[in-house]
Structure 1
Amino acid sequence: MKTAIEKPKGYRRLIPSVTALVEFEAVARLGSFTLAAHELGVTQAAVSRQVRFLEETLGQRLFRRLHRAIELTEEGEALYRVVAESMQKIASVFDRLARGPVQQELVLAATSAFSHFRLLPRLASLKAAHPDLQLRLSTQMFTADLRHKEIDVAVRFGNGTWPDGTAMLLFDEEVFPVCSPAWLAARSEPDTLEALASAVLVESDSTTEGWMGWEAWFNAVGFRPMRLNFALRCSLYTDAIQAARYGQGVALGWGRLVHDLLASGELVRLPVASFKPPESYFVVVPHGRTITPAIDGPINWLREGADA
């Protein structure tokens, strides 16, 4: 008796519509049927039909339709990660073949403080290690959703768990008071937490998870002052540190960021107390982004700076 030989299933039989996958990826990445339709140059109704076709084919809901919003289901998130990565690989090959041999561009996102104090002073060593790399810095004030940006790598401070990318630990952090040598020479050193709370302080706004201001720092080191003497409040941490450099008062020094200023003597550390946050710095690669040599090299470069 002859046994029927099962024919292998081709991609066309397993994947009923590439168009539906393309439109699903756009909706998942942008979080909106309207924005996806605008990007793809089709109507919103057409996008909705393609996504509904996928859901009917799979027998699974891919999105939760909320009031004026949508979010991926668990099944939708699993499909999005695979589709996004596959499309990124295809797009990268098409782009490389179409443009021919060119310099590799890396889009690196970080806060203005990390870029100003940590990245820019060390760029020469990155270029020396990777001379063909063309870097584009994307400076952010707040943590942005990587699914909405053309970003290859992001540096973030937090707990390492984000829904839009894969995080790899860079280094931890320590927070302590800093001031200029001139400011310290003109007055007695605040050698207790009580004296520090009464000193002239420079504050900066919290712009990311885990980032702390003076009140949170005092609480973390076990001291609750009745009031704090703020001489200046800044929206950006870079401005707060610059104010401290110019003798305007005492700022909170994030060790990884003010390392070079301490080494050069432009700032001095007040040995009153310090706090090591539970959060750390991470490099985050967006879901769907392949870690190519152009990405892997700078990631390793960032990690090599852990001791400085």
Structure 2
Amino acid sequence: MKTVTEGAKGYRRLIPSMTALVEFEAVARLGSFTVAANELGVTQAAVSRQVKFLEEALGVRLFHRLHRAIKLTSEGEALYLVVAESMQRIAGAFDRISGGSEDQELVLGTTAAFSHFRVLPQLPALKRMQPRLKLRLTTLMFTADLRHNEVDIAVRYGSGKWQDGKSSLLFNEEVFPVCSPAWLLANGSPQSLMDIAKASLIESDSTSEGWMDWEEWFQAVGVQPPRLNFALRCSLYTDAIQAAIQGQGIALGWHRLLHDLLKAGELVRLTDTSVKVSDAYFAVIPHGRAVTPITASMIDWLRGEVGTS
């Protein structure tokens, strides 16, 4: 049976330098030797030496050195995932033991639509639940690399399988046409999906986030109209929904985002037909970030308040 001292010697033999691992994690997370050096308060040359030492000790390259960028190799990616998760656990333990500070700041990264429709309306409830929380909202695309963004939690829509963080399911999603009560009163209820295709449609630009547009929605429900009647096209989904509220036409409604507007009657659902998408919303903790009690509580809040059906 190994003694504690023998076990410690074993760790030191297998792990040549904890400093090198810390500096490697910073470079991998930030994607830059220079930025990592600034964060760590050391020189770029010192960081480069530590990473080179780690590569020599392991006998593999951890980064591809490109012309003006670096990229993790497959071995580097495997090491980064383990190191980042381990550092996250250590940071979480420190936070639990120390009890945290009196005021706790949390940086939440979401798209503009998610924060506008789902987070901001629920802030009073969050404040009652977490009076010490200092929330900072930052706008991110769902595809933003979390290693290059200073966030504690990111909300993403997709498969839940990402290399830059650990994801937790928030809720699934379905999509259906919505309009304002005033538009419905003025134009009457469509009798078929083909009638909806002929009505005044509001479109928002397709993005890299995986959201469907009107053409994809009709394909998913098995309808192939000869043409779609677009009354308005918007770059932002928030603008498309605002236009629908003002009675400009019919927009595609993402149920989880528009729950409060539907419940309040500012928007109405036009048909029972909907598309239940295969992707879902996830809370993602970037590798290297601690899962603190306040972080876990925030994820529960997102899942409960924002996920209300």
TM-score by length of 1: 0.87
Q: Secondary structure at the match of 1:233?
A: strand
Q: Which residue of 2 aligns with 1:16?
A: 16
Q: Secondary structure at the match of 2:157?
A: strand
Alignment gaps of 5+ in structure 1: none
Counting aligned pairs with the same residue, the percent is 68
RMSD: 2.9
CA distance in 2, matches of 1:260, 1:121: 8
Q: Which residue of 2 aligns with 1:217?
A: 217
| CA drift at 1:264 | 1.3
Task: State how 1:142-181 maps to structure 2 within 5 Å.
Answer: 142-181=142-181
CA distance in 1, matches of 2:252, 2:217: 9
**Equivalent residues of 1:210, 1:277 under 8 A apart:** no
Q: Which residue of 2 aligns with 1:307?
A: 308
Q: Secondary structure at the match of 1:259?
A: helix
Q: Which residue of 2 aligns with 1:192?
A: 192
CA distance in 2, matches of 1:35, 1:197: 51
Q: Does 1:123 align with 2:123?
A: yes
Deviations along 1:22-66, one digit per CA (max 9) or x if unpaired, are 331222112233443455566655433321211111223222345
Q: Secondary structure at the match of 2:56?
A: helix
**Equivalent residues of 1:175, 1:252 under 8 A apart:** yes
CA distance in 1, matches of 2:297, 2:95: 21
**Equivalent residues of 2:142, 2:156 under 8 A apart:** no
Deviations along 1:170-196, one digit per CA (max 9) or x if unpaired, are 111110101111111112322222211
| CA drift at 1:139 | 2.0
**Equivalent residues of 2:217, 2:275 under 8 A apart:** yes
Q: Which residue of 2 aligns with 1:77?
A: 77
Which amino acid is the alignment partner of residue 216 of structure 2? A
Deviations along 1:205-225, one digit per CA (max 9) or x if unpaired, are 233433111111111111222
Q: Which residue of 2 aligns with 1:260?
A: 260
Deviations along 1:131-154, one digit per CA (max 9) or x if unpaired, are 222211112245311111111111
Which amino acid is the alignment partner of residue 105 of structure 2? E
CA distance in 2, matches of 1:144, 1:288: 16
Which amino acid is the alignment partner of residue 167 of structure 1? S
Q: 1:151 to 1:7 in 2, by over 3 A?
A: closer
Q: Which residue of 2 aligns with 1:102?
A: 102
CA distance in 2, matches of 1:307, 1:79: 38
